[in-house]
């Protein structure tokens, strides 16, 4: 330990140099020399990393009880130990108070132990998800069921079971016939829109229902897997399929790389058939906004396969209005994962609308939706649209199957 003492003396020399020098520039030059940097590094190690060992504690106890030495005397007599005065004073106070250096029984924060029994219990709950994809339990639920702290559960999952967590997503039910159509129509879209300029002309539209009740937070809806990459996890474990949409106030919007439309509200109780969709959503809402933003440039309207979108009356109306659109037999069925509004925009808007807000009336909800829609940046919209071709390519690669878990 003699070398540490030498480094301390060198440190004192540097401090002395600082006190005697009128120019801080000279000190900086001195400190940046290789030798002094090396010395300073070891001084930091000496002061911050040196710990009092169990043997040192016994020695300190004997010196305090038998010789009544204080911290300063101990440091003077044992300079090579590297003891700090603060630590020694604390130990001396403890020895004077109860004559021991041992911790009091029960002192400190109680810990949950990662025993083999606890590891086995957590493993049984986690691994059961492999056989039943919908039996997911979060660390909080495991804590309530087993009494093992959530932090210990997370450490067991990561360090002992060596599992990773992946967030689950909601996806449509896709049968084999639907998969084939998704694959073929995705390829048709790739052939039709081959470059950035053609994609720039597309206006993606969609409708969503917002409710007064705050949506359930899906942040904790995760699965555990030994897979090192998310795409290696079976899709049956990552996709939470849905068959129904909740009811409430319906909102319709459109986005493209040229801008976004205003929010169009469908009044509660309204029957959204072809006539209502053409008159209230398209004629009075989306089409005037799109035309104003395109400024006579060519553009293409995208709609999903909702009955009001694919009805003959709607198709005839669009043709009379000279609107270029993606034909119903070209857009892939059950494909919210291929519409930027659905796979990106709605999620971002919903999060902002319900953040630290609770709604008592529909009017309050409408005001919040309009406010947050206005704040939604074009940069985020463009970034969402940039994924579109890649998603089409993935759909073709997966033969029309789910692709949400890859993005």
Evaluate whether 390 touches 164 at the Cβ level (below 8 Å): no
Residue reference for tokens 């930027």: 340
Give residue limits of the domains in the chain.
Answer: 2-98, 116-162, 170-406
CATH number of 170-406: 3.30.420.10
Q: List helix spans (H) across 344-387.
A: 346-354, 362-375, 378-385
Residue reference for tokens 């810990």: 111
The model's pLDDT over 356-385, given as tens digits with 9 standing for 90+, comes to 888 989 999 999 999 999 999 999 999 999
Torsion of CA 358, 336, 266, 305, to 10 degrees: -160
CA distance 236 to 239: 6
Kindly report the average pLDDT of the chain as a whole number. Answer: 81
* pLDDT band (50, 70, 90) for residue 119: confident
The model's pLDDT over 275-309, given as tens digits with 9 standing for 90+, comes to 999 999 999 999 999 999 998 889 999 999 999 99
Helices 388-397 and 176-192 pack at an angle, to 10 degrees, of 140
The predicted structure's pLDDT at residue 54: 80
The model's pLDDT over 144-154, given as tens digits with 9 standing for 90+, comes to 888 888 888 88
Q: DSSP readout, 181-249?
A: HHHHHHHHHHHH--SHHHHHTEEEEEEEEE-SSPPPP-TT-EEEES-SSGGGS-HHHHEEEE-----SE
The predicted structure's pLDDT at residue 25: 45
Q: What is the pTM of this model?
A: 0.59
**Does residue 204 surpass a pLDDT of 70?**
yes
**Does residue 48 surpass a pLDDT of 60?**
no
The region of weakest confidence among 18-32, 77-91, 126-140 is 18-32
- Is the alpha carbon torsion for 221, 225, 230, 235 positive or negative? negative
- Which residues are CB-contacts of 343 (< 8 A; sequence separation ≥ 6)? 336, 337, 384, 387, 391, 404, 407
Q: How many CB atoms lie within 10 A of CB 294?
A: 15
* Nearest one of 349, 347, 321 to 336, comparing CA atoms: 347
* Nearest one of 348, 338, 17 to 182, comparing CA atoms: 338
What values do phi and psi take at 228, rounded to 5? Answer: -85, -20
- Is the alpha carbon torsion for 341, 345, 351, 352 positive or negative? negative
The residue with greater pLDDT, 132 or 406, is: 406
**Residues for the chain: how many in total?**
407
The region of weakest confidence among 5-14, 58-67, 79-88 is 5-14
């Amino acid at each position: 330990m003699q070398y540490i003492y030498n480094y301390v003396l060198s440190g004192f020399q540097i401090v002395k140099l600082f006190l005697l020098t009128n120019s801080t520039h000279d000190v900086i030059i001195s400190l940046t020399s290789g030798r002094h940097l090396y010395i300073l590094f070891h001084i930091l190690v000496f002061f911050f990393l040196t710990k009092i060992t169990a043997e040192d504690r016994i020695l300190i106890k004997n010196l305090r009880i038998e010789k009544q030495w204080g911290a300063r005397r101990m440091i003077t007599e044992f300079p090579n130990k590297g003891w700090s005065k603060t630590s020694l004073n604390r130990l001396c106070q403890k020895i004077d108070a109860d004559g021991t250096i041992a911790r009091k029984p029960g002192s400190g924060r109680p810990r949950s132990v990662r025993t083999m029994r606890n590891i086995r219990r957590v493993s049984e709950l986690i691994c059961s998800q492999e056989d039943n994809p919908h039996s997911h339990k979060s660390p909080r639920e495991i804590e309530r069921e087993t009494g093992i702290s959530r932090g210990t559960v997370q450490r067991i999952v990561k360090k002992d079971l060596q599992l990773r967590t992946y967030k689950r997503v909601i996806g449509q039910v896709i049968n084999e016939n639907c998969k084939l159509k998704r694959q073929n129509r995705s390829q048709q879209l790739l052939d039709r829109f081959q470059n950035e300029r053609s994609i720039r002309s597309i206006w993606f539209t969609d409708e969503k229902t917002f409710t007064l009740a705050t949506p359930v937070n899906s942040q904790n809806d995760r699965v555990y897997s030994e897979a090192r990459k998310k795409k290696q996890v079976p899709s049956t474990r990552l996709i939470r399929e849905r068959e129904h949409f909740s009811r409430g106030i319906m909102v319709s919007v459109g986005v493209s790389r040229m801008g976004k439309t205003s929010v169009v509200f469908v009044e509660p109780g309204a029957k959204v058939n072809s006539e209502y969709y053409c008159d209230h959503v398209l004629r009075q809402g989306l089409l005037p906004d799109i035309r104003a933003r395109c400024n006579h440039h060519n553009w293409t309207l995208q709609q999903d396969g909702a009955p009001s979108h694919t009805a003959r009356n709607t198709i005839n109306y669009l043709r009379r209005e000279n609107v270029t659109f993606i034909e119903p037999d070209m857009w892939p069925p059950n494909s919210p994962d291929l519409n930027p509004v659905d796979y990106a925009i709605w999620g971002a808007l919903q999060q902002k609308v319900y953040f630290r807000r609770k709604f008592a009336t529909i009017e309050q909800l409408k005001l919040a939706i309009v406010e947050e829609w206005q704040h939604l940046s074009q940069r985020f919209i463009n970034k969402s649209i940039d994924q579109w071709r890649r998603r089409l390519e993935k759909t073709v690669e997966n033969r029309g199957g789910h692709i949400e878990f890859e993005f």
